[in-house]
Structure 1
């Protein structure tokens, strides 16, 4: 067959089959993130009407029509699930399966070049939405299916290597969590109040120009809005904690992080404190406890407010944790530091897999071209 240009719409069919009989429950709800994978939605699904949710089976492509330019498209291989009615779902037709390897097509979608094409086609729209007709109009240069499979094998080998590494991460996290849980059961808990002190240092004369916020993943990030004058902001020194007093995600997330980079400034909605008795309590050990889901939910439980629930520094002081001797704390911190380092490596592996997508597509197309020239 060589290399041919196909209109994608001639080889795919849309699916609108929904969960009208309520056969499937909230445990099967997933979304598609910008990494091109299915993920559990972050929002609260209690009381959601599941009838309009679309049914997705193996072999389906699912994408968010308003976020496709960000890479929000995935290929289903993990069994049946349901997605929001706002998603587009399509399958290869029988004719399409004869000439298109679905994983090759997924790799094609994962390229930044495809995302730019989506952006270009959406240009001028007040609310860009890449609907099924737009997807159908995509023209793809398609090599022989055997050549497609050859490059898919390379992709799958890299993906399996990353997944294997990720499974090892889960085991390491389990060890760390189990160690912490054993401490909670074996020794009494103490309020952390005597070990920490509030800090309220202002950014006099705007001496520090690095403005930061803290997200629900407990990481310092660029804030969505930067104050023109940060003089009234609170300074966060290296080794200090900062947390947003306003609870997030239906009172299950307290955005808190330990500053390990250069000094920065946060808004007045944040509280800043530090550990003052480091001979008894390590900051990183405390961070592990504060970032646990159980602690986050407890913070939401004791927070208060009318329009927003607030968690104050006084509330923080009342949190109780087991405080073993420093050597044990350091061992736990070391295990978790190893876990974090491996998480970073795993993210690098994911980035490499995404970066190789355009190389694989280009290679498969060029192989056909070179074969014809020979």
Structure 2
């Protein structure tokens, strides 16, 4: 029994010995934007992705900013404990970018020993973030400074094994990206189709729709919704009582909700088509309307026109000069939109539904890829265990 325990302990120590101190494989790079040639300023978010920086750099000397190249990492040591995330991102674009001088730029000392993509896969794991949080210091910003980051140990198998895992992960990402690019083509088709309809068969909205004023008189419906600037229904934040709900308007599938307020301020016409089977209630300040004849215009086609940026800009242009910059119902009805043959409308709506379905699939693909890094890295550790046992 004692011998078996000693053997198990010995094997465990062998596996641990294959974990390497990260600082032995990576190094800092400090290349500044001295000639101001690079203007693409980026930051890092908590999902370990680069994003356009929101920093106000007006009057800032960008020559002090650090240049990051393809295959290098940007690392922020701050707030690791607060966010429970190690802000580390691998830069993969061909053209260089600049990042804040507060960030560190890291690169692999020898990519024949440590592939950058492999290292990034390890830090995509929730376990890595939790460990970074655990070893972060006790400062206000709960930082994980460079020296302590270098002490982190990760499994580093043979370069051929690293390439195998990286190739598998990158293959999945490439497939997902290809699918995502096809969405852009479909979106272009939909937009171009709509553009061809401008200035043709125009009719005022008021001739196509009618107001609906059904109240929640029995208080049966409790699902209270509002409309956001993206023209999407959302749970309302309004404070109300069960007794007051009887005053709210009912909106049903195929009907529209419209808010005339703050169109000028937000530069958005808040109007949205309700597509759910169960009815909901909305503020009495909103208007509810429906199309008069679906053989003349489809509700989905009308909503597609409402989504267009041009529609929002025109609504903002004709909004009144009140404090809330409203677009009252009477003025909203006067807006003219194209009404092509119903067959054309059906074709555009079909393309749009296909696009929306594929967008949902794409999001599901991205969500399914996220957990793969922990799975693949677990495979690395387990393969090391097998090799240890066999040896």
2:31, 2:66 within 8 Å by CA — same for their partners in 1?
Answer: yes
Per the alignment, residue 292 of structure 1 pairs with 308
Do the aligned residues in 2 keep the contact of 1:143 with 1:364 (CA within 8 Å)? yes
Q: Residue 169 of structure 1 corresponds to which residue in structure 2?
A: 183
> Whole-Å Cα distance in 1 between the matches of residues 348 and 109 of structure 2?
54
Q: Does 1:372 align with 2:388?
A: yes
1:188/1:204 Cα in 2 relative to 1: closer, same or farther (>3 Å)?
same
1:229-277 deviation digits (Å, cap 9, x = unpaired): 3726544322223355566998455554322123233456755433233
1:207 to 204, 212, 220: 220
Residue in structure 1 matching 2:128, options 114, 118, 123: 114
Is residue 77 of structure 1 aligned with residue 92 of structure 2? yes
Classify the secondary structure of the residue corresponding to 2:197. helix
Q: Are the structure 2 counterparts of residues 319 and 249 from structure 1 closer, same or farther at C-alpha, using a change threshold of 3 Å?
A: closer
Q: 2:197 aligns with which of 139, 162, 183?
A: 183
SS in 2 for 1:59: coil
**Deviation of 1:49 (Å):** 5.2
CA RMSD of aligned residues (A): 4.0
Give the TM-score normalised by structure 2: 0.76
Gaps of 5+ in 1: none
Instruction: Summarize deviations over 1:22-54 as a string: whole Å, max 9, x none.
Output: 5344xx34555565544557x798968573765
* Counterpart selection for 1:197 from 210, 223, 240: 210
Q: What is the total number of aligned residue pairs between the two structures?
A: 368
Q: Structure 2 vs 1, CA of residues 331 and 203 (structure 1 numbering), >3 Å: closer, same or farther?
A: same
Cα distance, 1:202–1:128 mapped onto 2, change above 3 Å: farther
State the 1:178 CA deviation: 1.4
Q: 1:308 to 1:183 in 2, by over 3 A?
A: same
Deviations 1:195-224 (A, max 9, x none): 23345555456532334444444433445x
Aligned partner of residue 183 in structure 1, secondary structure: coil
Out of 278, 288, 291, the position equivalent to 1:275 is 291
Larger radius of gyration: 2
Indicate yes or no: 2:106 matched with 1:94: no
SS in 1 for 2:315: helix
Distance 1:159 1:285 in 2: 34
Distance 1:313-1:339 versus aligned 2 partners, 3 A rule: same
- Measure the CA separation in 2 of the matches of 1:21 and 1:319: 52
Alignment partner of 1:90: what SS? Answer: strand
Q: Normalising by the residue count of structure 1, what TM-score does the alignment of the two structures yield?
A: 0.79
**What whole-Å deviation, never above 9, does each CA across 1:256-304 have from its counterpart, x for those lacking one?**
4322123233456755433233232211111111112222333344445
The answer for the alignment partner of 1:350 in structure 2 is 366
Question: For the Cα contact (< 8 Å) 1:88–1:131, is it kept in 2?
Answer: no
Retained in 2: the 8 A contact 1:215–1:256?
Answer: no
1:44–1:372 distance in 2 versus 1, CA, 3 Å: closer
The alpha carbon displacement at 1:171 in A equals: 1.7
Shift, 1:131, TM fit: 6.3
What is the 5 A alignment of 1:12-91?
Answer: 12-13=26-27, 22-25=36-39, 28-32=40-44, 36-39=48-51, 51=62, 54-62=66-74, 69=84, 74-80=89-95, 82=97, 85=100, 88-91=103-106
Contact 1:63 1:87 in 2 (8 A): no
Picking from 328, 337, 345, the partner of 1:321 is 337
Partner Cα separation in structure 2 for residue 120 and residue 342 of structure 1: 40
Q: 1:239 to 1:139 in 2, by over 3 A?
A: farther
User: CA separation of 1:346/1:363 partners in 2, compared to 1, >3 Å: closer, same or farther?
Assistant: same
Work out whether residues 72 and 108 of structure 2, in 8 Å CA contact, stay in contact via their aligned partners in 1: no
Query: CA offset at residue 362 of structure 1?
Result: 0.8
Task: Name the CA distance, whole Å, in 2 between partners of 1:62 and 1:264.
Answer: 47
Specify every segment of 5 or more residues in structure 2 that has no aligned partner in the other structure, as ranges: 1-13
Q: What secondary structure sits across from 2:198 in the alignment?
A: helix
What is the CA–CA distance in structure 1 between the aligned matches of 2:32 and 2:38, rounded to whole Å? 10
1:194 to partner: Cα distance: 2.1
